[in-house]
Amino acid sequence: MQTADFVRRDSTALNGIMYERIGGYRVSDMQFVAAFDVDSRKVGLDLAKAVVTPSVAAVLHTDIEPTGVSVEPGPLLDGIGGNLVGVVEPHPASREATIDDVADRLTAVRADVLVCLLPTGATEAIQSYARAAVRAGVAFINATPEPVVHDPALAAAFAERGVPLLGDDLRSHLGATTLHTALIELLQSRGLAVVNTYQLNVGGNTDFLNLADPGRAVQKTRTKRSALQAAGIDASTVSAGPNGFVEYLGDEKVCMIRVEASSVLNSALTLDIRMQVEDSPNATGVLVNAVRIAKTAAEHGHAGAVHDACAFLFKNPRVGATESVGIRQFRAYVDSVARD
C-alpha cells in the first residue's frame, strides 16, 4: 500500500512542492522524451539549452545537464500572432510540420503526458496538439486558456480514447487568481458580501507581450472571470486579467487586487493588496502536480477530464469550486490513487 506524502515545512523537499510523491512518483521520476517549438532560436537545440534561449526569467539554472532531447519543429498554424509577429521568427520547418508528425513522434518515444504551453490565442494550434495526444493515446495537460476541456468534441474524444485530460488554463502555484479567490472565500465565510472587486496584472515577459493584444487575450479574461465566479461572486463584469506589458519588469508579475465588502450594519471593509512574483517559476509547482496526476490517472484507467484534480490546478475547469473545496478534492484524489 502506498501513501501520499504531503510535504510538511520541516521537510527537506523543495519549497513550493506540495507532494513528494503522487501515485508513487517523485518529481525526479519525470523524464523529457520530446519537445516541440516554432521559434527558430530553439528548434534543433537540446531542450536544456532551449529553455534558456532566450529568457527573461531571473530564477534560472543555466548549468542544466543536457537532456538528449532535441527541440523539434512543431506545426506553426496560429501559434504566432499579434504582438509576437516580428518578435518570434518561425523556423522554416515549422511551416511544413503537421500535427500528424507530432502524433507519430509521441507514439515513437512512448510519451505518457503532453503538456501544452502555447501562447494564448493560438486556438487552432492548441486544439490540434490535443488531437495529436488523442491519436497517440497520450494524456494531455492544457495549460492555456483556450478551450480543450471545455470543447465538447475534444473532451469526448479523450474519454472515448481512454486517456486523461486536464485543463483549462493552469493556475500559478500562488498567483493572482488563487489569492483573489481565497480572499473572496475568506470574506464570505465571515458572512460579508463582496460588493466590488478587481484584479489588475502587468508583467514584462513574452506572455504579457502576447496578452497585450486584446484579440489574443479574450479567452484569458474569460478564464479568470470563471475562477472568480466559482468563488461565489457574479464576475460577469469584473475587470480581471492581463492589463499591460511593462518591458522592464522582465519575468516579474505585479498584481493589484481590490475587494470592497459590506459587513454588519452595512459597514464597509476594503482590501487593497499588491503582490509581486516571478511569473515563470510560479507555474512549476502546479505543473509537477499535474504531470504526476495525469500519469497516475492513466494507470488507474481514468479517462477524459479528471474533474477532482482540475478545480485546484486550473482557472477554468469543467467543474469549478471554491479554494477550500478545490484543494480538498485534490488531496482526496491524490490519497485515493495512492491507496489503490
Percent of the chain residues topping a pLDDT of 90: 89
Q: What are the beta bridge partners of residue 46?
A: 70
Average pLDDT of the chain is: 94
Q: Mean of the pLDDT values across residues 320-328?
A: 96
d(CA 199, CA 273): 10
Render pLDDT for 27-37 as a digit per residue (tens, 0 to 9).
Answer: 999 999 999 99
Closest CA to 278 of 51, 58, 15, 54: 58
d(CA 198, CA 294): 33
Contact (Cβ atoms closer than 8 angstroms) between residue 24 and residue 338: yes
**The pTM is what?**
0.94
Q: Mean of the pLDDT values across residues 107-116?
A: 98
Cell of 168: 483549462
Contact (Cβ atoms closer than 8 angstroms) between residue 140 and residue 106: no
Return the pLDDT at 241. 86
All domains of the chain in start order, with CATH = 5-171+282-339 (3.40.50.720), 176-278 (3.30.360.10)
In this structure, what are the phi and psi dihedrals at residue 303, rounded to the nearest 5 degrees? -105, 150
In this structure, what are the phi and psi dihedrals at residue 88, rounded to the nearest 5 degrees? -110, 120
Per-residue DSSP letter, 62: T
d(CA 289, CA 258): 30
The three-state secondary structure class of 216 is: helix
How many C-beta atoms lie closer than 10 Å to residue 54's C-beta?
9
Q: Mean of the pLDDT values across residues 270-274?
A: 98
